[in-house]
Amino acid sequence: MYSKHVQPPVKKPPVKKPPAKRQKTDPLAFKSSSKIPMCYFSNLFGGAEFTFMSLRTNNMCLKKLYEILREIDWDSEGNYQLFKQIRGKMGGKDNDHYRKGDRTAAGLLAKLISGCWRKHMKKRLRYVNELAVQYNAVNKQGVFQEILASDFSKNNVVNKDGTIKIRDDNASDKKKWMMEALRLKYANQFFQELLLESDDGIYERKGPRDTKLWCGNEYTEDAAGEPTAGLLMQCLADTKTFYQQGETKE
């Protein structure tokens, strides 16, 4: 009796999947890494981040440091190199990622400073204190007050045993402080013209490390009226209306 010869199954050639289509960037969305001019809506440009962070602290020396750094012309070539130097000492990379055209996203320094509340940022916090001494960031009495990890939110609590209970600021307070920061930024002619000529609905695109509070193109609030998402879009819209009304009055 002859055995039947079983033919091996014919392997089908692998089906090639078409390459994934690259999603088009929403023309109303921005990040500091966006192309010019959309990148300039980021709070890292125009001093807004410095102002916002200065309003979140009760330490007058930290507040003063933010204000001093805000007033430096970081767009000049010499001060841009200083920006890179300070950024490097706070753990930043040595690249030109935060230079767009002839402008510098110097608010990154405010972001780096404000991260010093974290336990693993003790080395950076020591450098921030050195920086404050270097720039003579003293209080109204002319006295330097050490900047502590508890100084980066007005809601933080220092316990009797010296430990710190980290508590974030309320979203409604953040909205109030952001409005103050944006009004100051967009009082500048360059940024104000950019805002007034922009399409309505510009918003910050959410990145991997961003919270939904600031990002997105839909503004929402919880039952208590606290903002929960799309806050920067709303603040920009309100700031635009403020300056449009100013033009009308003129």
Both structure tokens of 36: 């010019």
What are the tens digits of pLDDT across the range 170-191?
A: 999 999 999 999 999 999 999 9
pTM, two decimal places: 0.86
C-alpha–C-alpha distance, residues 121 and 91, integer Å: 10
Strands (E), the chain: 29-30, 99-100, 103-104, 157-158, 164-165, 203-204, 220-221, 227-229
Q: Please, what is the end-to-end C-alpha distance for the chain in angstroms?
A: 107
pLDDT in tens, 136-163: 999 999 999 999 999 999 988 778 887 7
Report whether 174 contacts 180 (CB < 8 A): no
* Contact of 124 with 132, CB cutoff 8 Å: no
229 versus 12: the higher-pLDDT residue is: 229
The pLDDT tens digits of the residues spanning 185-224 come to 999 999 999 999 999 999 999 988 888 999 999 999 999 9
